[in-house]
Amino acid sequence: MKIAQVAPLWEQVPPPNYGGIELVVSRLTDELVRRGHEVTLFASGDSQTLARLAAIYPRALRLDSDVKEYAVYEMLELSQAYQQAAEFDIIHSHVGIAALALASLVSTPSVHTLHGNFTKDNINVYSHHQKQAYVSISNAQRQINLNYVATVYNGIQLTDYPFIAQPKEPPYLAFLGRFSPEKGPHQAIAIAKQTGWRLKMAGKVDAADSKFFEQEIAPQIDGQQIEYLGEINHTAKAELLGNAAITLFPISWQEPFGLVMIESMATGTPVIAINLGSVPEVIVQGQTGFICQNYEEMAAMIPAALKLNRHTCREHVKNKFSVTQMVDGYEAVYKQIIKNRINLNGYIHAAKVRQ
Amino acid sequence: MKIAQVAPLWEQVPPPNYGGIELVVSRLTDELVRRGHEVTLFASGDSQTLARLAAIYPRALRLDSDVKEYAVYEMLELSQAYQQAAEFDIIHSHVGIAALALASLVSTPSVHTLHGNFTKDNINVYSHHQKQAYVSISNAQRQINLNYVATVYNGIQLTDYPFIAQPKEPPYLAFLGRFSPEKGPHQAIAIAKQTGWRLKMAGKVDAADSKFFEQEIAPQIDGQQIEYLGEINHTAKAELLGNAAITLFPISWQEPFGLVMIESMATGTPVIAINLGSVPEVIVQGQTGFICQNYEEMAAMIPAALKLNRHTCREHVKNKFSVTQMVDGYEAVYKQIIKNRINLNGYIHAAKVRQ
């Protein structure tokens, strides 16, 4: 198939440190190329890909302090992708609502992966375009009525996450994620203090969360029991998770997927999480971690989690959240959408599809 | 003709107080209806118009504190307008770059009035879509290479601006506009202080300019020589300008049009301005005001400006910046664009055009 992948421009594909969407797009794109598809990746010019790279800006916008209006470049990227729509059998967008109006004006079908959450504002646009084809990244994410064609879970490459059979001594709990209230870093600290466990934390602090970090997090960091490692790269991330006894996921929002849970399990480390959003779809209760109703329960499950089989955790990721699984899922989605188009109206594009 | 007008959603059409674009769209739309065109106005639901109103949101977004993501609603408005593109002979957009990608995907022609200035970021999108049809609101505005089909100056309705033959006693200078550095309110104060004139100022202070206002403007307001009237409605605006001896326009940026200059001249009050952007196209040097190279020259021209004929000022607006002139300009633009389309490729839309 001739496939366009449209990625956000904020980060490189793949991202050097953080950037869940860009990581997923990278793995998906390269594997599609390996499977023989003709893929064009719309992304920042410093991206690394096996596909044909179509870049409207030379580097990740995050790295360019000259850029004041982010949306402008996203618009330009979408313009280019949709002006070439006739060249593709399908356009796969990862940029959310910005693509919807354009997608509804061309005959090439689009599929939109929902990487984020619905907001009071953006549901108006999604609802208006509810007949577009959507992929949810968890079943829990389907909070409004849209034409969902599948749930395709995010997939990671196991070789990127070395398996660690034995947690490091002295043992510690890990927290990895944005330092925002909904991710619950303050709850992770409370659990550590209550149970006397050491806690190692890493992740970025967005400008919007700087007050929260200063007031709720910084005063608790003592460098002994509670450590903050700052923003760390992929290798350090895999080590932080893999060497941990348990990873905490004390969220207070409807998590759409939660990449850190599968990253942790891939290294062998079980996850204790709050039962919100995607969590029960990602963790196997009592096998790869524990799904809890509140923070007290999270603390109480630590001894049981220490006894879980770390090989089982990794196997679970291999079976359900690998790049292979993810690309199988998307390939099936593309074929189904194109087939439906052919059945419905025999678009001229149909003739171009090579499978 | 069947014409779509696409207005910003921030303000009602027409705006109760400020909103240059919404005012122009309102006058244009209503006059097109009076001339027999079938006009659909895409605007906020609290807009007042003779056209068919197509609203995707019940009120001006400015008035709705629930709205966090403005761009979402603009996108939805554009979706609706362009999904109905086949219903129109022409789509006239007043929302800038957001419409360009969509405009390039439908066969109905669009025309885009440039209401703002180019930025380092947005020129990338304009340049990519340079073959779209653009209307500049001054010749000076044409800073980059685009397919400009005409300059159509903004027009106002003279009945909205009562003529005042004699400035009020004691005489004063007027400043009306956003309190931002590029509009030069601090320079207006300096000119007043240097010459001993009274100065009455009005206009809004955007959040981005609150520091500038507090530091540079507020300390200078004494309620005697230097007065600040806050945000004022249309009637108060027309009185402020009409009762003034002279209006100051001490800008330091490339003004794309400068509605306040024609509003002032309409009431009979001449304008002393800095020679930037549209200024030499709007003021007739030595007839309706003075075009100066610097602030010293502005101060020096006050005595000469007092001798200018106030009837001449109003006549100039009547002849060059009336709603009639503006709508004549846009009608010619619409006809030309549609005619070019017919000549070029005989689009099916051509058959629908009724003139």
| DSSP codes, A124-193 | HHHHHTTTSEEEESSGGG--S---EEEE----B-GGGS---SSPPSSPEEEEES--SGGG-HHHHHHHHH
- B272 pLDDT exceeds 80? yes
Quick one: B136 and B172 in the same domain? Answer: no
What number is the average pLDDT over the span A174-196?
96
* Residues sharing a CB contact under 8 Å with residue A119, sequence separation 6 or more, in sequence order: B68, B69
CA distance A138 to chain B (A): 24
ipTM associated with this complex: 0.84
Domain that holds residue B260: 158-319
The chain A residues in contact with chain B (CB within 8 A) are 56, 66-69, 71-73, 75-76, 78-80, 82-83, 97-98, 100-102, 104-106, 119-122, 124-125, 128-129
Quick one: B207 and B151 in the same domain? Answer: no
B120, A66: Cβ pair inside 8 Å?
A: yes
CA distance B45 to chain A (A): 15
CB < 8 Å to A100, chain B: 75, 79
Quick one: A178 and A127 in the same domain? Answer: no
Nearest residue of chain B to residue A80 (CA atoms): B101
- pLDDT tens across B142-175, in order? 999 999 999 999 999 999 999 999 999 999 999 9
CA distance B346 to chain A (A): 21
Quick one: B190 and B54 in the same domain? Answer: no
Widest CA span of chain A, in angstroms? 66
* Residues sharing a CB contact under 8 Å with residue A331, sequence separation 6 or more, in sequence order: A32, A35
The answer to whether B104 and A83 are in contact (CB under 8 A) is: yes
Widest CA span of chain B, in angstroms? 66
Q: What is the dihedral of CA A84, A89, A94, A97, to 10 degrees?
A: 70
- pLDDT tens across A308-328, in order? 999 999 999 999 999 999 999
What number is the average pLDDT over the span A76-105?
96
Instruction: Average the pLDDT over each of A266-270, B58-62, B132-136 and give the range with the smallest value.
Output: B58-62
3-state secondary structure of B157: coil
B125, A71: Cβ pair inside 8 Å?
A: no
Candidates A74, A95, A124, partner chain B, best to mutate (most B CBs within 10 A) = A124
Q: List the CATH number of the domain containing A271.
A: 3.40.50.2000
Q: Shortest CB distance from B67 goes to which of A67, A68, A121? A: A121
B75, A82: Cβ pair inside 8 Å?
A: no
Quick one: A314 and A333 in the same domain? Answer: no
CB < 8 Å to B75, chain A: 97-98, 100-101, 125
Instruction: Please state whether the peptide bond connecting residue A15 to the residue before it is cis, i.e. omega within 30 degrees of 0.
Output: no
Quick one: A16 and A134 in the same domain? Answer: yes
pTM: 0.89
> pLDDT band at residue B354, thresholds of 50, 70 and 90?
very low
Quick one: B240 and B294 in the same domain? Answer: yes
Nearest residue of chain A to residue B81 (CA atoms): A101
Instruction: Give the integer Cα–Cα distance in Å for B178 and B187.
Output: 13
B122, A69: Cβ pair inside 8 Å?
A: yes
Neighbours of B128 (CB within 10 A): 19
- pLDDT tens across A205-239, in order? 988 999 999 999 999 999 999 999 999 988 999 99
Quick one: B110 and B231 in the same domain? Answer: no
CB < 8 Å to A129, chain B: 79
Of A270, A192, A268, the C-alpha closest to A228 is A192
In B84-176, which residue ranges form alpha helices assigned H by DSSP?
100-103, 122-128
pLDDT at A264: 98
Q: Which tokens hold the place of B125?
A: 């999108």
Percent of chain A with pLDDT over 90: 89
- A287 pLDDT exceeds 50? yes
Percent of chain A with pLDDT over 70: 97
- Counting the structural domains of chain A, the total is 2
Q: What is the mean pLDDT of chain B?
A: 94
Quick one: A64 and A163 in the same domain? Answer: no
B72, A97: Cβ pair inside 8 Å?
A: yes
How does DSSP classify residue B141?
G
Quick one: A181 and A274 in the same domain? Answer: yes
Quick one: B248 and B293 in the same domain? Answer: yes
pLDDT at A352: 44
Instruction: Give the integer Cα–Cα distance in Å for A260 and A18.
Output: 11
CB < 8 Å to A73, chain B: 121, 124
A125, B67: Cβ pair inside 8 Å?
A: no
pLDDT at A348: 45
Quick one: A10 and A126 in the same domain? Answer: yes
How does DSSP classify residue B62?
G
